[in-house]
Structure 1
Amino acid sequence: MAVQDVAMVAVGVVCGGVHHRRAQRGPRDDRNPSGTLVRKACQLVTANTCHADLRGAMPRDGLIVTIGIVVDLQAANHTNRELELMLAGKKPLAWFYDEISALPHERIIPEARFKPYVESGLFVRGEALIEDRYLPQLGRVAIIKNVLFAVRDEAWRIPAFLLTQRVFYRTRTYTEQLERMQSELLGYTAEEIDAWCDHQFR
């Protein structure tokens, strides 16, 4: 099996040395280096539907072992490989985000790297600012800037992904259903998504 990427995300906001955790959700395709306001533990993304024969997978030595399939979650992670995978036709959508006080920062949202492909028409860029909770350290409501790049023919994924983001921020609920939708939009395979969800939600 040619493993693409899988990763799950645990996100927090760090301001003035205080770690403000959000009821965070799963798939994150984007980069958030340590030291930035929004911090991720690891990322996973999804792709299609769940296969019953993958249920009950258990992690072992960093691997998710399923019936007849072994998924290396670390190797499957898209982080830091988004552009490479998109240019290779293996990823339809990339997502980057952080609190606006940490931006602009090329390591967080690599605008310069993607810009030539947006200008050429190969990729489409989307952006949205979404309000988070009030943070005393900032003295205001945190504002998360979301930037997405999609392969031109997959541009529909941008508004679809932003819709799932808004649902999360309104409900503050991280569910397997949300994880699966976002992971699939980001281009993870069904096997990767099933293995990750078995690890995260079972």
Structure 2
Amino acid sequence: MSESVPAKAPAPGREFQTFLSRLVKVILRPQAFWADLGTTMPPVKEVVFPHMVVLVGMQALAAFVGTLIGKGLGAAFGILITTFLTSFAGIWVFAFAAVTIATAKGGNATLERAIAFAAYSVAPILVVSVIGLIPVRYVTAIAPLLAMPFAFHVMGHGATTALGIHGERAPHAVAQLCGALVLVWTLMPMLLPAIAQAVFG
């Protein structure tokens, strides 16, 4: 697979139009989405904003509102910050896991491609997490798990195109990527608060 050429940055004022177009396509037509991105991978800054910031922000805001209704302002602000940081950091951790797995399986992934792969693969999880608006206990935690199978579907289409994993190694690599995503998304909400507590007391 040839190395991708970075996509041209959207014209000023069109960033969100491009963001929405890609979001709809990766959810509804993941195979076509990855095929389009295969030769024009967006730069990291474009993946981070608006894609990651907007979707993670929506997830965090939904968790904030859901918590505010049931537990009050103090708890809601805590959930807002924790949700944003854990999901944002989780995407980066998963990207590092993806490039490691791809390299071990003979892929030609770069960290830039892995970040795009991770950010777009978790889009279904972040979108579904908006139901955290519902002030019912555990909804915020359960919602991402319900979207995991679709995230796996998106990853399955993207592993070859974005990470350069081909042949008989691809199915095994996809299985490892799915396992890595489950671990990262499950452990990050527990690890980040523990790290913060250890650092800041």
Question: Would the TM-score normalized by the shorter structure come out above 0.5?
Answer: no
Question: Would you tell me which structure has more helix in proportion to its own residues?
Answer: 2
TM-score between both structures, scaled by the size of structure 1: 0.27
The answer to which structure, 1 or 2, has the higher relative contact order (CA under 8 A, 6+ apart) is 1
Question: Would you tell me which structure has more strand in proportion to its own residues?
Answer: 1
TM-score between both structures, scaled by the size of structure 2: 0.27
